[in-house]
Chains A and B, each alone.
Chain A
Amino acid sequence: MHPEIDRYAHIDSPIHRWDPGLKIVGFGVFVVAVALLSKPASAFVGLAFSFLLLSASKIPVPFVLGRLKFLLLALAPFFLLLPVTVVSQPEWSVTWEWSREWLALLLTLRALAIGVAVFPMLGTAPFHLSMKALQDLGFPKTIVQAVLFSYRYLFVYLDQLRRMRVAARSRGFRPGLNRRSFRVFGYQVGMLLVTSYEQTERILKAMKSRGYDGTIRTLHASRRAPADWFKLGAVLATALLLTLGDRLWIG
C-alpha cells in the first residue's frame, strides 16, 4: 500500500548480499559513467548492463517497469520537441530535423539505464541500511539522520493525507480546478504542516526524556568480505570499459 523502494529488500540475491556501502559506490560510479555517455549505442550497452544487474538482484521486472512510467512520460516531449528548430530571421520558420532524434534516443537510453539501475542499487537493502552506509562513506551525519527521520514520518503523514482525502470525498468533495478545491487542498497541506510541527515538539520531548543532547549515537557494524570488493571491481571495470568504448568507438 505504501510506495516503498525496499519492498524486495528481503529476498536473496548476490546483489542483496553485497555490502551496502560498496554497492552504492559501485552503482554510483556506474550511474555517473552512464550519464556521461555520448553515443546511443553505448547507452544501449549501459542499459543492457543495468538490466543484467536488475536480473541478478531478482527484483521483479514488472515492479520496476511500473515505476518507470513517469520517467518515460517525462522523456516523451524530448522526442517531439528536440528535432524542432524555430528560426525568426529572416522570417519565421519551423523545421523538423530527423537527425536530432538520435539525441532524444541517447537521452532516453541513458535515463532508462540509470532509472533501472536505481532499483538494485537502493532496493536490495532496507532503506535505513543504505543510508547508514552513506554515513559510513563520509556523508555528514546530521544530513543522514535527517533523511532517516524524514523517512520514518512520511508514512505517518501519507496515512493522514489518505484519511483526509477519504473524509473529504465522503462529504461530497470532487477535486477540480476551482476555488473550492484549492481551498481544500490548501487546508490539507496546512493540516499536514501543523500536525508535523506539533508532532516534532512531542518527538523532541520524547528524545530529551531519553537523554538526547544533540548527537545521535549509532551502532556500527560494517563487515566487508572479499566478495564485496570483487563485485565492486566488476562493476567499476564495466563502467570503465563502457566509458572507454564510448569515447573511442567511432560509430
Chain B
Amino acid sequence: MHIADGVLPGGTLVTGFILAGGWIVWQARKLDAEDMPRVAVMSAAFFVGSYIPIPLGVTSIHLLLHGLVGIVLGNQAMLAIGLGLLFQKILLGHGGVTTLGVNACIMGFPAVLLGWVFHTYLAGLSLRLQIPLACVFTGCTVALSTVLAALVLLSGGEEFQVIAVSFIVGHVVIVVIEAAITGVVLSFLSKVKPELLYLTPLPPLRRTERGE
C-alpha cells in the first residue's frame, strides 16, 4: 500500500502533505504532556509489528496494522502512521519520501474513521459481538485504503487505470489477512490489557505536581 516516489503527479503529492500534515499538526496541539511519549513509543511498537513477515506463496508480505492503530490511538493514528511510514522508508526502503503525505492520508484517514466507529458503536458491546464486528470493520478500513490508493494512482492519468484495478485485486487477500490478525490482537488485548482499547485520558497532573 505504500506508493513509491516518482509515480504520482506533483499536485497529488502536495495535497497529500497538506491534508496529512494539517491533521497531524492539528491533533498534535491536543497532545498533553503524557500523551506524546505514549503515542511515540506505541508507534514504534506498531512499526515493529508491521515488520513481521507473513508468508504468502513464495514471498512474504507485511501487515499494515493501520486499522489497529486507529482503534488504539484514535485521532493520533495519523501521527503514528506517519512515523511508521517514515521509518519504513528510511530503515527498510518501502514507500517513498515525497509520498509520505499521500500514503499517510491513504492509511490514516480510514484508520481514524475506524477508531471513531469502534469507540462510538462497538466499545459498549459484549466481546462476542465486538471482536467479529471489529474484524469486519477493519476489513472495510483496509478495503477503503486500497480504494483510496487506487484513486490516488488514477490521479496520474488514464494510463494508470489498469494498474489501479490490479492494485485493488491484489489487495483482496490483504484485506482478509489484516482483518483476521486484527481480530486476534483485539482478542488478546481485551484479555491482557483492556485499558489499551479504551484509551482513557490520563489523569491531569495532580496539584502536588504543579508548581506555584
Contacts and interface: CB of A to CB of B under 8 A. Distances in A.
Interface of A: 3-5, 31-32, 34-36, 43, 67-71, 74-75, 77-78, 81-82, 84-86, 100, 103, 106-115, 118, 122, 127, 140, 142-143, 145-154, 156-158, 160-161, 165, 175-177, 181-183, 185-190, 192-200, 203-204, 207-208, 212-214
22 contacts: A32-B10, A35-B5, A68-B93, A75-B6, A103-B159, A111-B4, A114-B96, A114-B98, A115-B4, A118-B89, A122-B90, A142-B31, A145-B36, A145-B40, A153-B41, A182-B181, A185-B52, A186-B184, A189-B63, A189-B185, A197-B42, A204-B38
A101 B170 CA distance: 22
B56 A154 contact: no
A106 B96 CA distance: 16
A161 B86 CA distance: 20
A71 B89 CA distance: 10
A69 B93 contact: yes
B166 A188 contact: no
B83 A147 contact: yes
A149 B36 contact: yes
B44 interface: yes
Contacts, number: 229
The DSSP consensus for interface residues of chain A is: helix
A75 B4 contact: yes
B159 to A, nearest CB: 6
Contacts of B58: none
Contacts of A109: 6
A238 B122 CA distance: 55
Nearest to B192: A194
Nearest to B84: A150
A110 B3 CA distance: 13
A146 B91 contact: no
B10 A196 contact: no
B184 A185 contact: yes
Contacts of A150: 40-41, 43-44, 47, 83, 87
B195 to A, nearest CB: 8
B150 interface: no
A81 B98 contact: no
Contacts of B24: 143
Given A5-B90, A176-B55, A193 B37 contact: no
B167 to A, nearest CB: 8
Given A192-B45, A200-B42, A5 B185 contact: no
Given A148-B40, A176-B55, 11 more contacts: A35-B5, A77-B163, A78-B7, A111-B7, A143-B79, A153-B40, A175-B54, A177-B55, A181-B55, A193-B49, A203-B37
B25 A35 contact: no
